[in-house]
Structure 1
């Protein structure tokens, strides 16, 4: 998910998490609005205690095993910035207890000594287990793709910002060179012009 945090603002989000689950959250500042790529981050438990806190970081990853059920709050703080809006990409994943699936050897041990009806039920459960495993892998693949897209967006924003800075500085330098060249031509012509003001001033200075 990508959010925009205006200058001087703080945005918070809430997510209900059960005891025994694990919170995985990753964030990255992909656009600093012509400023630094940084943001402050905090994660609070349901009673308001700060679990983790980052100050002016560009990216980070946090993992927390939940011991207290309730609504967890995570905030992105841009109050330290007076002018620049920040664009932040973040990914929140809650791993539920018991989602880790059994391996093939464990399932074979469990199937020994079962009746045909029980065996059928276990095979159905086995299929469901594989489906769950595929779902988890697809979720992780999607997360990796989102992270890669965020890195690409950040690099593109940095490249565009640097391109603008280089163009502006080059334009200023070219204008300065043209102005200095014109001034030199004017001064040289004025010095050799006997009736010109610059020649009279130059003569007075020499005297």
Structure 2
């Protein structure tokens, strides 16, 4: 009788340990998922705020598009609208996709493959955004100048203070873009390490 009781107790304790192990693994996975998603929460907030600013400027350009009275100013206006709408939407949709990878379901290998593909797309969009942002100054400035002050910068020579302001803007943009891109790389690297720890 004692042996049967001992075996029963042993089986019960073994089942309880298995349940506890499963519960511990689930807690660890849930915490990892939360940490993973938190990596992209701050970036998503900043990008959402930036997108709202871009959309507001795009609406301003749309409502004042009739002030762009030459074909080249209208072309600049069209490029400005593309830049202000397409890029933020692309970045936000990619951020949503990368943040919502379900790391609790699917195989580790498949999740990592999806992550790496989406991460590369996100970083590529940032690179495109940087390049287009610098080029964009040369089509956004004429549009805003014409809409706000009714001046066609293509017909007027730049004054010294305008050249200095443009130079300072370019230097500030270079520093900001470099800092932001390094931040993206750091966060995506950290998130990838979290995923790799699940192996």
TM-score normalized with structure 2 length? 0.33
TM-score normalized with structure 1 length? 0.32
Higher relative contact order (CA 8 A, sep 6+): 2
